Amino acid sequence: MKAKIHKQNYAELDLPYRPPYDWQSILRFYQSHSITGLERVNEDYFERLFRFNRTLGFVRVQAGKNCLRVRVAPDSHCIVTEVKTRVRKMFDLDCDPGLITAAFARVPLLARLCASFPGLRLPRVMMMRSVISSTGISSP
């Protein structure tokens, strides 16, 4: 995967996933659990400010054709590599929906849920944010 570097000091990446992928449900989750002052989420994109060592950065994630389009600033190789890894985890891009559907097919309730919500992902980050927000612990 090669990053496209721009004079504006940002890199763009396309991070592929295995369809189906329920982008809108993930965005709605992150919108309802956004970290004030660090994240901005609407119906089209997820944005976040971050710190990598001593560098402040910005990431924007949008849906593409069977991929997520990611813009990272600044375009430092180390930062882009780290952001790529974290975005893949945060949005559960390495999930194999076919494998999950096959495993869930053995349990009727889970099979119906898979059929009703194809492409729904539940990344670990989402689960942790739900636990934190339900306990009243504030995010950093």
Q: Which of 3.40.1190.20, 3.30.310.20, 1.10.1740.10, 3.40.630.190 is the CATH number of 4-131? A: 3.30.310.20
Contacts of 21 (CB under 8 A, 6+ apart): 66, 97, 119, 121
**What is the predicted pLDDT for the residue at 139?**
41
pLDDT at 42: 95
Note the pLDDT of residue 135: 47
Residue 119's pLDDT is what?
79
Which residues of the chain have a pLDDT value below 70? 1-7, 122-140
DSSP one-letter string for the chain: -PPEE-TTS-EEEEEE-PSP--HHHHHHHHHHT--TTTEEE-SSEEEEEEEETTEEEEEEEEE-SSEEEEEEES--HHHHHHHHHHHHHHTTTT--HHHHHHHHTTSHHHHHHHHHSTT----HHHHHHHHHHHHTPPP-
The ranges assigned to domains in the chain are 4-131
Position 117 scores a pLDDT of 80
